Copies of this chain bind each other. A is one copy, B any other.
Amino acid sequence: MSPRADVTELVGQAREGKPRAVARLISLVEDAHPQLREVAAALTPYTGNAQVVGLTGPPGVGKSTSTSMLLSALREQGKRVGVLAIDPSSPFSGGALLGDRIRMSEHAVDPGVFIRSMATRGHLGGLAWAAPQAVRVLDAAGFDVVLIETVGVGQSEVDVVRLADTTVVLLAPGMGDGIQAAKAGVLEIADVFVVNKADREGADATVHDLRQLVAMSRRGVAGPSWRQPIVPTAAAKGEGAAEVLRALGEHHTWLAEHGELDRRRTARAEAEVEAIALRRLRAELGELRGGERLGELARRVAGRELDPYAAADELVADLRR
């Protein structure tokens, strides 16, 4: 257990841009420290100002290089940027991710940039619960932009990116079949498409496929809706950053003008409140009858005395008692 923190002081220091204070606050929320509620209450007045951008794509599209390029471009505009890098906690992913993080290290000494890695947890609701808390810290600390980046591999990872105001989907040439097969899912989450490695063969075809996909998806749509832009980049050469930032800005304006920003932020708050409530209820289920109740019911299910629904009935009834 970490020692008791002076939360008001920490929040003040975080807002002055002190990275250690930001890191400490995120640790307090990540570890569900006893002072968590105090932290949440202290942060609340300062939240709601950051532009929250999600960035995802399949492995190998140059996600970290793109994040790094966007970081540089945002810094040139004088923006302070917080990055929440979600590591899918697959037992197989350790090596590749380590390499990714190293590529972002050029920004590690910039006081206007704060990078935090967060692993998806082994527990139900872990990431759904922890990620919005960390975004809240970065928002309250006064970062103008909060970038949430994750490789688009698992459900819980993708869900987190969907918490953003604007979600960028990164693709690269040579994924034509993939785009066709995955079109519904990709169209559903993307606000902005970036086709990275646009200097490579096949980039035009990828852009063309995406353009068709976007056009098709708009058929029959009534009223004003957002048409996802498709921005070619070559992040390794630093090409295309300005165009991506312009697309992000346009989407943000569109969201604000159409009431969508409020709608998305309310949806984010809803997911956050629900995750906190479920986390607590889950803890309470585990603590019933001195922590013995769930195990006892499970033994009866494993022994075929009880079906799992009947067992869940008994568990929930105990919770209400």
Contact = CB atoms under 8 A, between A and B. Distances in A.
Interface of A: 36-37, 40-41, 43-45, 47-48, 57-59, 88-96, 98, 120-122, 124-128, 132-133, 136, 152-159, 169, 177-178, 180-182, 184-186, 188-189, 262, 265-270, 272-278, 280-282, 285-286, 294-295, 297-299, 301-302, 304, 306-312, 315-316, 319-320
Nearest to A315: B277
A281 to B, nearest CB: 5
B91 A312 contact: no
B310 A41 contact: yes
Query: Which interface residue of A127, A185, A278, A316 has the most chain B CB atoms within 10 A?
Result: A278
A298 B267 contact: yes
Chain A residues touching B, majority SS: helix
A302 B261 CA distance: 10
B121 A155 contact: yes
21 contacts: A40-B310, A41-B310, A45-B304, A88-B154, A90-B152, A91-B158, A91-B186, A91-B189, A92-B182, A93-B182, A94-B181, A95-B180, A125-B125, A154-B154, A269-B299, A270-B295, A270-B297, A272-B298, A274-B282, A276-B308, A278-B278
A97 to B, nearest CB: 8
